[in-house]
Structure 1
Amino acid sequence: MNIFVFTAYLLSQPKLIKIKHQNFCYMSVSLNNFLDNMANIKIKVFAKGKIARQVFDLYKEKNTVIIESSIYIKKTRFLNKNKKKRK
């Protein structure tokens, strides 16, 4: 498992969903790209359980947060303009 620690800027308000007595929270964040002259990286972040509830309760607009988590990267490989294949 990969552990990932980063500083992120919150782009959207967290959305809290409750499924079978389990809290889930998701939102969009922006990662600063210090290495290249490229734009910032925008990603979706998911949380569950107590952490999801805390994120939802402590949210303030335009906050910057430090996140420590595991990371899952979904790889896709493009064959041509119309078809894409998952790896």
Structure 2
Amino acid sequence: MNTFVFTAYLLSQPKLTKIKHQNFCYLLVSLNNFMDNIANIKIKVFTKGKIARQVFDLYKEKNNVIIESSIYIKKTRFLNKNQKKSKIIFVKIHKIQNIYLNL
């Protein structure tokens, strides 16, 4: 398992869904990038179980957070003439903490 710790800015309100008595939470985040010539990266992250409920209850759009997660890469094939392959990156949240900024 790959551990991935990063600071992020929440771009969307967390969305909670329940499938077979299991909570899932999805949201869109922007990875903060401190290099001048590269734009911030937008990714979709998800979590499940008790952490999904915590994310949905405690965090709002425009929060800055620190996320400890793992990365999964899933390869898919499109069923068309070209038989193209693509990779989808999933980030699963394990722990999340709010960053409080005093301005």
TM-score range, shorter chain: 0.7 to 0.9
Q: RMSD over aligned Cα, in angstroms?
A: 2.0
Q: Percent identity?
A: 88
Greater relative contact order (CA < 8 Å, ≥ 6 in sequence): 1
Q: 1:60 to 1:86 in 2, by over 3 A?
A: closer
CA positional deviation for 1:86: 3.5
2:33 paired residue number: 33
- The separation in 2 between residues aligned to 1:86 and 1:59, in whole angstroms, is 32
Given the alignment of the two structures, is residue 23 of structure 1 paired with residue 23 of structure 2, yes or no? yes
CA positional deviation for 1:83: 6.2
CA positional deviation for 1:32: 1.4
Gaps of 5+ in 1: 77-81
Q: 1:75 to 1:42 in 2, by over 3 A?
A: farther
Given the alignment of the two structures, is residue 53 of structure 1 paired with residue 50 of structure 2, yes or no? no
- The size of the alignment, in residue pairs, is 82
TM-score by length of 1: 0.82
